[in-house]
Chain A
Amino acid sequence: MKRIATAAGSIALVAALAAAPFFLDAYGLGLMMGLAGYVTLATAWALFSGPTGYVSLATVAFVGIGAYCVAVLNETLPYPLVLLIAAGIGLAVALVVGLSTLRLSGVYFVIFTFGLAELIRQLVTFYEINVTGTLGRYIFLGITPEHIYWQLLALGVITMLLRWWIGRSRIGLALKVIGDDEVVASHVGIDIARTKLALFAISATIMTLVGAIQAPRWTYVEPAIVFNPTVSFLTLIMALLGGATRLWGPLLGAVPLFLLFEWLSANFPNHYSILLGLLFILIVFALPKGVLSFIEWMWRRARSTDDSGART
């Protein structure tokens, strides 16, 4: 009964979101586009980092790869093919990076992923300056904002469904075991390296697609824009705020934070980074397991005090 209600509610929500462009002005649509992008990124981030506990700052590396693929190929190839190639390149990079780094743990992985995004950005800059001779590229595609929004929405829904499915599958269980105790995981027969690599690759491919889909919106693309590390930090903090181990966590974290950042950047453009940093610290200290876990904890505590009150 509850599952049917959740499913019906989800379908109604998606339908309402899909119809949104018909009721919104240009600013509203832009907001929804950004929102759909970040919800998808945060959900994709949590797909890998939630259960494994590997904090990745490589989000923007993949977003940027996706955007650059579109920038480079949009004049020569049809759009769907460009998306496919972008996904393929994202997947390939993720596999190479994953194979070489998933042995790292804790803070080393964090630093590596942060460095990776910078490395790719510098490589692209170097290539553009020394080989092609221009830094920026233009994207002229006849894709309307509505279409971008619908594509992002579809990708977001697929990502959510994928996470839901993984949560119920053997891979999901394997990830939970890995998150709890890697020694036990390997001793019950779980191939830790392969499981992590698969999830990292799926997550990265989705991030690449987010970048590729969003690219036409920017019209002008250069490395400093598409490889901006703030994207990685925002994604991370959104997923953490909602709760990276929960299915709906990244969504619940991304929506309020995105709106807040939008408001902050409009009203405090000069202090934006400071406020962002403060918020970051606040969330990590006050809600390390995310809002959903916090609410559950409060709920359980309230109930247990009720019980003891009834007994006395």
Chain B
Amino acid sequence: MTALLDIVGLTRRFGGLVAVNGVSFTVARGEVVGLLGPNGSGKTTVLNMISGSLKPSNGDIRLNGEKVSGWPAHRIARKGIARTFQLVRILPSLSVAENIVTALAFRRAPLWGAAADTAARDLLAKVGLGGRGDERAENLTYIDQKRMELARALAADPQLLLLDEWLAGLNPTELRVGIDLIASLRDSGITIVLVEHVMEAVRALCGRCIVMTAGSKIADGATADVLRDPQVIHAYLGASHA
């Protein structure tokens, strides 16, 4: 298996603060990798650097061997990296279907017009929003906005999907639905990196986990092993539990 994503020595400084410090890991095609760690450990910053919202201070990010670090976000998006945001970002002035069309219209193999509309409605059906394309995006409930955002990310036909706490803030029933939805994406072969605090989801979805604390990687391996790792338990729960 060749690595789809290859990250070497990734570092980001904000003034004197080193938010991400020399993080390296690879993600193989078809893998679902969880990126874990306490709040402020730099997970979202890593995601932001992969998607191009932030430029790395140091280090390389390669997609299929091609260096994409330092590129503007729109070029990285066109290479096939799509994402959702920690705080859901909808396009309030557009309809639900148009929200999806945005990603279809500007990806590498763009769709426009009737073809884009059909594809958008298919994607909405896939995430459980079938028949609701004409509603206004801002009128959707929170979970439905998250579904829409996921459909928008899928519309980009990504090689790599980044989910930033996509399951946060859902109630237990919604969480079940959400996990099943991501599981169905995994089964369709999409490579996913997800930042997540919901352990139930991490155990159900991720074959492998990477744990960060204070900007550095402290563990990387099979999910069950990583979650037993004393260092990881220490990072999360403190010394007395380790």
> What residues of chain A have their CB less than 8 Å away from a CB belonging to chain B?
170, 173-174, 176-177, 179-181, 183-192
Contact = CB atoms under 8 A, between A and B. Distances in A.
Interface in B182-229: none
A170 B106 contact: yes
Interface string B172-184: 0000000000000
A185 B78 CA distance: 12
Contacts of A188: 74, 77, 102-103, 106-107, 152, 156
B65 to A, nearest CB: 21
B184 to A, nearest CB: 22
Given A187-B83, A190-B74, A181 B106 contact: no
A180 B107 contact: no
Contacts of A190: 74, 102, 106
B119 to A, nearest CB: 14
A192 B98 CA distance: 18
Given A186-B72, A189-B77, A191-B74, A180 B103 contact: no
B92 A180 contact: yes
Contacts, number: 68
Given A173-B105, A192-B74, A187 B93 contact: no
A215 to B, nearest CB: 39
- Listed from nearest, the 7 A-B pairs whose CB atoms lie closest are A189-B106, A186-B73, A189-B77, A180-B91, A188-B103, A189-B78, A186-B74
B83 A180 contact: no
5 contacts: A170-B110, A183-B53, A184-B102, A186-B77, A187-B53
A192 B72 CA distance: 10
Contacts of B72: 186, 191
A173 B74 contact: no
B11 interface: no
Interface in B121-169: 152, 156
Contacts of B96: none
B102 A179 contact: no
Given A176-B91, A176-B94, A187-B53, 18 more contacts: A170-B106, A170-B110, A173-B105, A177-B94, A181-B91, A183-B53, A183-B89, A184-B91, A185-B74, A186-B52, A186-B77, A187-B73, A187-B74, A188-B74, A188-B107, A188-B152, A188-B156, A189-B107
Contact of B156 (A181, A186, A189): A189
Interface in B23-78: 51-53, 72-74, 77-78
Contacts of B101: 173
A176 B77 contact: no
Nearest to B104: A188
Interface of chain A, main secondary structure: helix
B82 interface: yes
Contacts of B105: 170, 173-174
A191 B52 CA distance: 13
Q: Which interface residue of B89, B92, B105, B110 has the most chain A CB atoms within 10 A?
A: B105
A191 B106 CA distance: 9
A173 B82 CA distance: 19
A108 B50 CA distance: 30
A192 B52 CA distance: 14
Nearest to B81: A187
A228 to B, nearest CB: 35
Contacts of B93: 176, 179-180
Contacts of B106: 170, 174, 188-190
Contact of A189 (B92, B94, B103, B112): B103
A59 to B, nearest CB: 25
A147 B126 CA distance: 59
B112 A170 contact: yes
Contacts of B107: 188-189
A174 B93 CA distance: 12
B139 to A, nearest CB: 14
Contacts of A170: 105-106, 110, 112
A273 to B, nearest CB: 35
Contacts of B77: 186-189
Contacts of A187: 51-53, 73-74, 77, 82-83
Contacts of A185: 74, 102
B102 A173 contact: yes
Nearest to B53: A183
Contacts of B156: 188-189
Q: Which of B93, B102, B110, B112 has the largest number of chain A CB atoms within 10 A? A: B102
